[in-house]
Structure 1
């Protein structure tokens, strides 16, 4: 498969308890042999830098202007909420739940630093990657020095050049049907990431810029180390920076669950891509309507049950809905608004 730089996370968060019910129903019905109930995850977590390399400074993707550690801790909290829900489902039926196993891997990814050069990197905007031309003289991976033989990027990385640029352009040019042409992969150009001393590949453009303001974050797992690029300047719909800012009590019905959007959910979403790889966690849907099959996807089809389970945004909504049901026990969030039980 040709490299793809980002798995885009671009929609605001909504949720219904029906997501929880759908997942629990699906997992309890799984035809599988019993497995051991997972050990509850720890009640405290490491500092984010114990698990990730976090770009320092305020330029080239630097994160010093943001509290990445708070995102990390809140994301871990939502992982623990999802884990509690799955453990409850397991204990209730005393049987294995194969679909829940991937959640365990995501939780483990919060706690375990990968040794050596493969420690994942976190950037806080896409200026960490500087666009280049395929015809530019190549920089040497690992050092950043100019290629000793003066070779072009397209010569040093001939296979990537053929697959990502030449072939994609040919396919687009040859496709006469406008609708089908729009579905084809866009040509990629090289981007030099100085922090990694390596090239990455993506479509032309600044991923987090105002021209891409719907992008919330992206994960690149096509090369080592894996990188997560957050776009916090685009987080206009986020209402809270961390969980403790949520209201202590809920005083009325009709409060939209969208009022509880929080920065850590974006981190949690990207952890699925980071831990389980993009190819296993495609972003099939972002909206609650699409996830619950109330609304068709862009291709006119409804999301399948398997696609919904693999879809990271389903899990962020799942965890948020589960938590709010415990945080405000007098209310149910069976719809997008709070209702007294």
Structure 2
């Protein structure tokens, strides 16, 4: 098996009726990307050719039937299926969901076997992927099972990084999911990721409260006083620079987030609404805590514009670049961890 300097980027094609194929093609039409990496799309050459024709893409795609035959510095398409696929832009279709999962499973297998170095996932529809064989609320949970780790949804840009205590959990169930063990695990995952993936030597982390105004001394809930505050204090007493809980309503508007290397929100929308408001189009969804690197754009299938040629590829392109940067930083971190003197003499 290879290892050249050109990092291999495995790509799951996502929902074929959404904007995934369009933003993939637009990203790699820039010839500079092929100098930086070798993209490997897991789908079928037939379906990729359909999208090339539809979007009038001039990029050359190399058809391969085995990951061992990947051509460095070219856009590769690994044939995961041979059958015809009926594309109906903007339509939610369980059959299309099956193809999305086949692409994901093949790309993850290649990642686990080191035929690709990182994984970038195009958007899926979380509803039409469900089946008896695949029963996960999304990419993150599936990857955690496959790649043996404490996965964490980590939304990242250069200037803002937001992790989640709970992700795809109904709001009414959030307090029941937050435990001392979970808090410790997520803070540890964020801290380790900042060190090995983003080269932050001494991370400073903020945690947002569970309740409005951090509970107002028990007037609006007691979870922050009983659980979050003492757990954060115990973690901080052991040397981790963790602060909070902060009242979420003013935290981002006051620009307090700029004082920290990362922010951990208690639940999905508490973190993702301000993140996407501040960074939309530039953000990347990174799955921290895994043995491999996986990124994705910060948006969904965008059925309403699918097939129209209007999709903006900037977040997907950023996901590719971020994945490559993290992969390289991890290699450096592991090298320095084994030989601290090498870093000291650099």
TM-score normalised by L of structure 1:
0.31
Highest relative contact order (Cα 8 Å, sep 6+), 1 or 2? 1
Greater per-residue strand proportion: 2
